[in-house]
């Protein structure tokens, strides 16, 4: 540990400009999950595990942020992803909005349309970058949806999910295929394409791939590699979640 700290202190600042941006989101992956993963990784190699390190723990810089919604001390995926991708705090269970929008209220969403925050995916597209996302959830789930959707309720994934009196708002799926930046993504992979909803847990999916089942789902690693290969064709770099 002492050597790691000393090494970080003398490491020169990287002043180069990155061409590509990749954001990995461990949804719900707090410190206890990180610790358990680190220990499990070490024990797979016959070690006690607590001294092991995950790859992202080897990065030269790490940080911890406070996670909460505008109106809730305990955050959910929707307001958390909005903070990640838009840089603003949002009410509990809302997507791509700020504190002005009231949960479940379509009128408040449309009233403040001019103030909708812009996501990093939209900024990347305006800069001429190729964009995409890969997820083990459904592609309309709160975390990926925060990249492209504005909704007063994360659960309004399809028109049937929206109460009749609120249907003057677009559902999340329609925003993905009809609006910017959703319709301009170069890569979209996840549940809804390889499964009817979320993908299976990797332990189950890996077993199906080993048995060469024709409908076996790809792994997150396989999807990520395919996405990077596709997005790398652009001259101006890419953004991938």
Task: Tell me the catalytic residues.
Answer: 77
Q: What angle do CA 172, 177, 182 make, to 5 degrees?
A: 80
Q: Which of 57, 85, 199, 218 is nearest to 143 (CA)?
A: 85
**Radius of gyration for the alpha carbons in the chain, expressed in angstroms and rounded:** 20
| Strand residues in the chain grouped as ranges (E) | 21-22, 130-138, 187-191, 238-240
Contact between residue 220 and residue 134 where contact means Cβ atoms under 8 Å apart: yes
Say if residue 52 carries a ligand binding annotation.
no
Which strands form 21-22's sheet, in the order they lie side by side? 21-22, 238-240, 130-138, 187-191
Q: Supply the DSSP symbol for 165.
A: G
Q: Exposed (0-12), middle (13-18) or buried (19+): which is 107, by Cβ within 10 Å?
A: middle
Q: How far is CA 97 from CA 24, 167, 211, in A?
A: 22, 18, 44
Helix (H, G, I), strand (E, B) or coil at 95: strand
Q: Does 82 count as an annotated binding residue?
A: no
Tell me if 158 is assigned to a ligand binding site: no
Cβ proximity of 224 and 134 under 8 Å: yes
Quick one: which of 52, 31, 27 has its CA closest to 40?
52
Residue numbers belonging to the annotated binding site for Mg(2+): 27, 141, 143
Residue numbers belonging to the annotated binding site: 27, 141, 143
Residue numbers belonging to the annotated binding site for Zn(2+): 27
């Amino acid at each position: 540990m002492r050597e790691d700290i000393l090494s970080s202190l003398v490491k020169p600042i990287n002043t180069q400009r990155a061409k590509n941006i990749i954001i990995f989101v461990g949804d719900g992956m707090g410190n206890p999950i990180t610790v358990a993963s680190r220990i499990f990784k070490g024990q797979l190699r016959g070690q006690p595990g607590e001294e092991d390190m995950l790859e992202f723990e080897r990065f030269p810089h790490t940080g911890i942020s406070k996670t909460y919604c505008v109106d809730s001390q305990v955050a959910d995926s929707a307001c958390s992803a909005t903070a990640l991708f838009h840089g603003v705090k949002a009410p509990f269970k809302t997507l791509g909005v700020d504190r002005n929008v009231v949960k479940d209220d379509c009128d408040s969403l449309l009233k403040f349309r001019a103030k909708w925050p812009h996501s990093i995916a939209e900024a990347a597209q305006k800069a001429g970058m190729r964009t995409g996302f890969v997820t083990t959830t459904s592609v309309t789930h709160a975390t990926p949806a925060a990249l492209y959707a504005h909704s007063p309720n994360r659960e309004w994934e399809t028109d049937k999910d929206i109460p009749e009196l609120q249907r003057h708002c677009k559902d999340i799926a329609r925003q993905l295929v009809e609006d910017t930046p959703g319709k301009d993504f170069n890569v979209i992979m996840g549940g809804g394409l390889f499964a009817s909803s979320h993908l299976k847990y990797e332990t189950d999916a890996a077993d199906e791939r080993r048995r060469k089942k024709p409908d076996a789902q790809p792994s997150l690693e396989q999807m990520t590699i395919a996405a990077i290969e596709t997005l790398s064709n652009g001259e101006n770099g890419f953004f991938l979640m």
